[in-house]
């Protein structure tokens, strides 16, 4: 088309280092919560440590990958940072994966005590969903590791005149 102008939109992206730091910080925070709930429900420091170890090993990489995937999702992003709706969606999506992971690990590491494992995963889910939402809200206002990227906006269909 003649005279078409390509509009550009500015999208805020995050560096891999920012994603790594966010993931590591969350893993530490989550590990403290899991250690407490595991010890409360099993009464065993060794079992609690093994569940935390499993979580640390199995979720560290997946948390980083999740941050990199969310980096490509435009919904809920603006120049001023992530919306609270985006933070909630991230918290719920991550919690679903993480709860199933913890439930599996706790069941295996408590030698099949599904009731105990359910209490650990359930209490973790409630506490960590709330914590993760606020963790995301704090990171939403941290400028470090963010950069602007210009992306073309979708073209509007040209208007046609009837003859």
35-50 pLDDT, tens per residue?
999 999 999 999 999 9
**What's 158's DSSP letter?**
P
Percent of the chain with pLDDT over 90: 67
Which residues does 77 contact at the CB level (< 8 Å), separation at least 6? 11, 12, 83, 86
The model carries a pTM of 0.76
Distances (CA, A) of 138 to 1, 15, 81: 45, 17, 10
Longest Cα pair distance anywhere in the chain, in angstroms? 82
- CA angle in degrees (0–180, nearest 5) for 12-91-99: 140
The answer for residues whose C-beta is within 8 angstroms of residue 35's C-beta and 6 or more apart is: 48, 49, 52
pLDDT in tens, 93-116: 989 999 999 999 999 999 999 999
Q: For residues 47-63, b (16+ Cβ closer than 10 Å) or e, as one string?
A: bbebbbebbeeebbeeb
Confidence at 157, pLDDT banded by 50, 70, 90:
low
The residues pairing with 12 across neighbouring beta strands, listed in sequence order, are: 148
Q: How far apart are the first and last CA of the chain?
A: 18
């Amino acid at each position: 088309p003649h005279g078409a102008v390509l509009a550009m939109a500015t999208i805020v992206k995050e560096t891999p280092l920012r994603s790594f730091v966010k993931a590591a910080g969350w893993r530490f925070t989550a590990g403290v919560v899991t250690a407490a709930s595991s010890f409360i429900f099993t009464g065993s420091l060794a079992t609690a440590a093994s569940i935390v170890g499993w979580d640390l090993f199995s979720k560290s990489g997946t948390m980083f990958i999740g941050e990199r995937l969310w980096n490509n999702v435009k919904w809920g992003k603006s120049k001023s940072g992530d919306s609270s709706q985006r933070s909630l969606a991230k918290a719920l999506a991550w919690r679903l994966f993480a709860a199933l992971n913890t439930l599996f690990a706790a069941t295996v590491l408590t030698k099949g005590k599904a009731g105990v494992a359910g209490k650990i995963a359930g209490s973790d889910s409630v506490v960590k969903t709330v914590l993760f939402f606020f963790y995301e809200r704090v990171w939403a206002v941290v400028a470090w590791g963010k950069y602007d990227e210009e992306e073309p906006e979708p073209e509007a269909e040209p208007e046609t005149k009837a003859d």
